[in-house]
């Protein structure tokens, strides 16, 4: 073995030699001895492409005589020898040209040249040429005969596999590491329409009838994330030609020799005939043949599931029992065919008026039932929501029907029973709803009644308050109050607009009583728009007042307002209509508004901030918003919640929280407003901490503008 050129370290590309560095340094082996032990062949060329080093493996693997390499030949002589013994095939001159071309190319680019060939003895070798620092090259050779044989066997196996899939009713598919379809064989591979629909997409990227929501794929995505096998994942698709088909997918992960995920492979099967047969059996067993609604048996199962869900979540549910008034008279007067059409029309109206997740059933005759779930954890609130739905149903069903040229009227009597757990049987809940329905009939029919008279009365009161609230806005009963916001020297810098309801008989209705009701009913959108318009009109009027022209006016936002798609346009429209300066308007949000759809919230805030509108985060410190989101929000102000201000002098923890908020705001370049300041001591303490703005009874109670 020649060791003329080798040293203890070689270029980083020779990883095998670098790994042996410790062995050499320890003195257990010399470099020459170590290289002779390697299974890879090495030939080192000097700057003139003469052989200046090699190991024993090179002699054995390449079949070269040691006398040839000891003579330090040019690479040309080695190539001629290999060509003569049949290891390198083709025109010799062309071979020599290619060798020199790659030597120069490797030297210029620093990129190794890798190639493979099969010797006359049947060995498949992989060669690599790499440049050495300071001039010269190293050529390595690895015996990959077994690997080549394995590839050949795989190709044969692939051909057998293709033959089988072409004959099978199932098909084969593969995903990449991002779960995108990359391959189809069998039926799918032969159908260009299907291949174009799926290839390059993930299963959940293709519209699915039975799994329309992103969360419907969560179980499959979780299994894939855990690299688990999945079996018979059923997907329903509508094909471009209008056909509806069902596919069942089964898959298993593909990994390389290092255990790294390469994707998934599996099979698919068309299960449309089976699903159609199952659907037919299911319809017969669980659906009313006349209306297509759930029958009594199916509804009993749904109520049981609702009871279990209510027990887990603590949310109340309700049964609405509906009986059509005078339906017997319709049957007697016009016949059962007309009566059946009335029942079908009633079913359609019920489906149109309730939520998609609500269950509707027909118990028989003219008796219908609606199951309402997830109403509220508060029983009174749940009753009010059930009452709202009941009134919607009543309003929809009391409209006259035109059947075969006859106008018929089948008003509903509706009874509602609440339930919240599994302690009652479905029959007991239904009985209570049935009794409430008879109370509705006793009250004159075409009405909604609760089983609990006291609950019924409270639901009526809430509905009445909601009606009065809408009427109050029309009649000018709502007014804006303002509370001053002052700086550290007590100078007024702005005000916060506060909504008040001056009721003609109830006196002043507390905001805590009517604001939640407005939120729940959706009336907050109308009310909020009115508040914003009034506030912007004030700002426009202040502009002509030298004292108040630089004041800012804060307006509170609701979650429903922020979720509206036209939220930004509505704010901009009011500003333009009133002529208010956007830079003087400050919109206040609570942390709870940031818990859902944060990206949409940020986008809307940034759109308004670009027009000059300012934003404040109200009640800061009481919620759970991420500080990561906080730094992305275009906020100008943070408001320390009054719960920390109240005890800032007595409770060291509240004082520490106030300081932390002030430090955080300073780092984010925000102004802090302390709300609920009621004493001189609180004002002085917060001012000493560096607070810039203050609000509370110490500076003034809310007063009408």
Q: Looking at residue 43, which CATH number applies to its domain?
A: 3.30.450.20
Q: Would you say residue 9 lies in a domain?
A: no
Residue 105 phi, psi dihedral angles, 5° rounding: -65, -45
The interaxial angle of helices 524-542 and 567-578, nearest 10 deg, is 30
In the predicted structure, residue 4 carries a pLDDT above the cut 70 = no
Predicted confidence band of residue 21 (pLDDT cuts 50, 70, 90): low
CA dist., res. 663 & res. 658, Å (int)? 9
Least confident of 223-237, 379-393, 432-446, 561-575: 432-446
Rg (CA), the chain: 40
Q: Would you say residue 2 lies in a domain?
A: no
Strands 637-640 and 671-675, by their bridges, are parallel
Whether 441 and 487 map to the same domain: the answer is no
CA dist., res. 667 & res. 366, Å (int)? 68
Whether 501 and 642 map to the same domain: the answer is yes
Closest CA to 689 of 651, 648, 653, 646: 648
- Predicted pLDDT of residue 18: 57
- Predicted pLDDT of residue 13: 36
pTM for the predicted model, two decimal places: 0.48
Whether 456 and 510 map to the same domain: the answer is no
Q: Would you say residue 10 lies in a domain?
A: no
**Domain endpoint, select from 256, 277, 298:** 277
Whether 359 and 383 map to the same domain: the answer is yes
For the chain, what is the mean pLDDT? 87
- The percent of residues above 90 in pLDDT, for the chain, comes to 60
Predicted confidence band of residue 285 (pLDDT cuts 50, 70, 90): confident
**Rounded mean pLDDT, 266-280:** 87
SS3 289: coil
CA dist., res. 16 & res. 359, Å (int)? 69
Q: Would you say residue 117 lies in a domain?
A: yes
Q: Would you say residue 282 lies in a domain?
A: no
**Domain endpoint, select from 446, 465, 484:** 465
**Domain endpoint, select from 143, 177, 196:** 143
- Predicted pLDDT of residue 496: 97
In the predicted structure, residue 171 carries a pLDDT above the cut 70 = yes
| 392 or 22, greater pLDDT | 392
**Rounded mean pLDDT, 291-298:** 90
**pLDDT per residue over 409-431, tens digit each?**
889 999 999 998 777 888 889 88
Q: Would you say residue 437 lies in a domain?
A: yes
Task: Report the DSSP beta bridge partners of residue 246.
Answer: 236
Predicted confidence band of residue 103 (pLDDT cuts 50, 70, 90): very high
Whether 116 and 155 map to the same domain: the answer is no
- Predicted pLDDT of residue 8: 30
Whether 364 and 384 map to the same domain: the answer is yes
Q: Which domain holds residue 436?
A: 287-465
**pLDDT per residue over 328-339, tens digit each?**
888 888 888 889
Predicted confidence band of residue 10 (pLDDT cuts 50, 70, 90): very low
SS3 207: coil
**pLDDT per residue over 339-376, tens digit each?**
999 999 999 999 999 988 899 999 989 999 999 999 99
CA dist., res. 452 & res. 298, Å (int)? 27
Least confident of 2-11, 35-44, 500-509: 2-11
Whether 409 and 548 map to the same domain: the answer is no
CA dist., res. 58 & res. 43, Å (int)? 7
49 in Cβ contact with 103 (< 8 Å):
yes
| 442 or 358, greater pLDDT | 358
Q: Would you say residue 471 lies in a domain?
A: no
CA dist., res. 473 & res. 527, Å (int)? 8
**pLDDT per residue over 211-256, tens digit each?**
999 999 999 999 999 999 999 999 999 988 888 999 999 999 999 9
385 in Cβ contact with 374 (< 8 Å):
no
- Predicted pLDDT of residue 406: 78
Whether 526 and 666 map to the same domain: the answer is yes
539 in Cβ contact with 553 (< 8 Å):
yes
Whether 126 and 211 map to the same domain: the answer is no
Q: Would you say residue 432 lies in a domain?
A: yes
Whether 636 and 507 map to the same domain: the answer is yes
- Predicted pLDDT of residue 68: 93
Whether 166 and 210 map to the same domain: the answer is yes
Q: How many domains are there within the chain?
A: 4
**pLDDT per residue over 470-505, tens digit each?**
999 999 999 999 999 999 999 999 999 999 999 999
**pLDDT per residue over 520-561, tens digit each?**
788 999 999 999 999 999 999 999 999 999 999 999 998 889
**Rounded mean pLDDT, 596-614:** 90
CATH number at residue 455: 3.30.70.270
CATH number at residue 664: 3.20.20.450
Reported for 500-503, long-range contacts at CB under 8 A and 24+ positions apart, including other chains, are 500/702, 500/704, 501/469, 501/472, 501/477, 502/477, 502/478, 503/468, 503/472, 503/477
Planar angle of CA 508, 511, 515, nearest 5 degrees? 130
Least confident of 20-24, 55-59, 69-73, 415-419: 20-24
Specify the residue for token string 């493996």: 57
Whether 380 and 298 map to the same domain: the answer is yes
- Predicted pLDDT of residue 5: 36
| 231 or 519, greater pLDDT | 231
CA dist., res. 239 & res. 209, Å (int)? 11
Max mean pLDDT range (159-173, 450-464, 581-595): 581-595
Closest CA to 371 of 427, 289, 465, 299: 299
């Amino acid at each position: 073995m020649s060791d003329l050129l080798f040293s203890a370290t070689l270029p980083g590309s020779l990883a095998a030699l670098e790994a042996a560095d410790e062995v050499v340094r320890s003195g257990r082996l010399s470099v020459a001895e170590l290289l002779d032990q390697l299974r890879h062949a090495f030939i080192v060329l000097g700057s003139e492409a003469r052989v200046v080093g090699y190991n024993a493996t090179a002699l054995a693997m390449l079949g070269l005589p040691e006398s040839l390499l000891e003579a330090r030949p040019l690479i040309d002589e080695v190539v001629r020898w290999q060509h003569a013994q049949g290891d390198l095939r083709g025109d010799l001159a062309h071979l020599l040209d290619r060798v020199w071309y790659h030597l120069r190319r490797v030297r210029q680019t620093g990129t190794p040249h890798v190639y493979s060939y099969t010797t006359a003895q049947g060995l498949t070798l992989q060669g690599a040429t790499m440049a050495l620092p300071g001039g010269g090259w190293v050529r390595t050779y690895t015996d990959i005969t077994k690997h080549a044989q394995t590839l050949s066997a795989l190709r044969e196996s692939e051909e057998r596999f293709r033959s089988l899939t072409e004959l099978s009713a199932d098909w084969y598919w593969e995903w990449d590491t991002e779960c995108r379809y990359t391959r189809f064989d069998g039926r799918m591979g032969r159908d260009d329409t299907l291949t174009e629909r799926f290839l390059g997409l993930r299963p959940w990227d293709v519209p699915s009838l039975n799994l329309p929501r992103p969360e419907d794929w969560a179980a499959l995505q979780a299994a894939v994330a855990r690299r688990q096998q999945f079996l018979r994942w059923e997907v329903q698709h509508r094909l471009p030609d209008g056909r509806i088909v069902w596919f069942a997918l089964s898959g298993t992960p593909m990994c390389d020799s290092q255990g790294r995920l390469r994707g998934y492979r599996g099979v698919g099967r068309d299960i449309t005939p089976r699903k159609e047969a199952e659907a037919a059996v299911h319809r017969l067993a669980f659906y009313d043949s006349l209306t297509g609604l759930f029958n009594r048996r199916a509804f009993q199962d749904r109520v049981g599931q609702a009871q279990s869900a209510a027990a887990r979540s603590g949310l109340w549910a309700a049964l609405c029992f509906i009986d059509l008034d005078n339906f017997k008279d319709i049957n007697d007067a016009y016949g059962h065919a007309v009566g059946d059409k009335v029942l079908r029309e009633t079913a359609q109206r019920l489906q149109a008026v309730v939520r998609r997740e609500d269950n509707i059933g027909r118990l028989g005759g003219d008796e219908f039932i609606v199951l309402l779930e997830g109403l509220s954890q508060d029983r009174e609130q749940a009753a009010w929501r059930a009452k709202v739905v009941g009134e919607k149903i009543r309003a929809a069903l009391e409209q006259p029907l035109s059947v075969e040229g006859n106008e018929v009227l089948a008003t509903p009597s509706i009874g509602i029973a609440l339930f919240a757990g599994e302690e009652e049987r479905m029959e007991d809940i239904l009985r209570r709803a049935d009794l409430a329905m008879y109370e509705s009939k006793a009250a004159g029919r075409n009405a909604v009644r609760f089983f609990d008279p006291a609950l019924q009365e409270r639901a009526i009161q809430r509905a009445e308050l909601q009606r009065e609230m809408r009427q109050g806005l029309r009649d000018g009963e709502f007014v804006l109050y303002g509370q001053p916001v002052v700086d550290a020297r007590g100078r007024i810098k702005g005000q916060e607009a506060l909504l008040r309801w001056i009721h003609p008989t109830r006196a002043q209705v507390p905001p805590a009583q009517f604001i939640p009701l407005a939120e729940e009913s959706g009336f907050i959108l109308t009310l909020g728009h009115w508040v914003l318009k009034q506030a912007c009109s004030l700002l426009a009027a202040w502009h002509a007042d030298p004292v108040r022209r630089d004041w800012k006016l804060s307006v509170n936002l609701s979650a429903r307002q922020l979720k509206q798609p036209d939220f930004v346009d509505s704010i901009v429209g009011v500003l333009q209509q009133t002529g208010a300066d956007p830079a003087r308007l400050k919109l206040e949000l609570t942390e709870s508004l940031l818990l859902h759809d944060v990206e949409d919230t940020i986008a809307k805030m940034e759109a308004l901030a670009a027009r000059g509108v300012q934003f404040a985060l109200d009640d800061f410190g009481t919620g759970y918003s991420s500080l990561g989101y906080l730094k992305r929000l275009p906020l100008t102000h943070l408001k320390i919640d009054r719960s920390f201000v109240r005890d800032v002098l007595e409770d060291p923890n509240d004082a520490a929280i106030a300081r932390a908020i002030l430090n955080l705001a300073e780092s984010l370049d925000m102004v802090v407003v302390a709300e609920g300041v009621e004493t001189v001591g609180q004002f002085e303490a917060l001012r000493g901490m560096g607070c810039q703005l203050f609000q509370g009874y110490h500076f003034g109670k809310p007063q009408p503008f």
